[in-house]
Amino acid sequence: MMDQFETILSHFRQYIKVSEELEQDLRSKLVYKASHKGDIIQYAEKVCTKSYFIIKGLTRTYYLKDGVEISEYFSCESEWVNSPKSFIERTTDIYSIDCLENTEAFCIDVNDLVYLFNDYPEMERYARLSMGSVFGHLMERITSLRFTSAKEKYDHFIKVYHDIHHRIPLGMVASYLGITQSTLSRLRAGK
């Protein structure tokens, strides 16, 4: 588990200087969690109280519409995953998060994160800097969904998820893109 903790420390160090005190608090607040493929780590209609930093594996954030799972986004190594609205507002929402692969992560409770933000100003800097890329991705996704063809949506998906697209089941990719699986198959075949 020591190697895994070094992974998350390296991640933080990309954005901020990690003092000895902050490192000790991170060690005491971050809890290692191993989940199996198919495990649900966040259920819809439950308040999201934990955020997960993925060391190894792949998760999907999704919701149900008329009994059909709609994939909203995917998270993999060196990324955080939670149900953002629920986590920030401490309210229930529509999103569930499941593991598409066996997944190793460090999780932190929202109250421990608030403590770190209050006691370490550099943690707020970390959040601001690391979240910038997430917001950029979400804005691109909204534009892609609203203003592009199925092929352009698929091309954007491949660009955004270039490292992991081959690890995601095609039905989930189709629901993420808002197209049918047969349309996705035609796009992948270049027809």
Q: In the chain, what are the domains?
A: 2-116 (2.60.120.10)
149 compared with 33, residue with greater pLDDT: 33
List helix spans (H) across 61-169: 84-89, 110-119, 121-147, 150-160
- Cβ–Cβ < 8 Å for 183, 150: yes
Strand, coil or helix: 114: helix
SS3 72: strand
Categorize the per-residue pLDDT at 140 as very low, low, confident or very high, splitting at 50, 70 and 90: confident
Residue pLDDT, tens place only, 39-76: 999 999 999 999 999 999 999 999 999 999 999 999 99
| Identity of the amino acid at 67 | G
Distance between CA atoms of residues 99 and 102, nearest Å: 7
pLDDT at 83: 93
pLDDT of residue 129: 87
pTM confidence score: 0.90
Under 8 Å between Cβ of 137 and 32: no
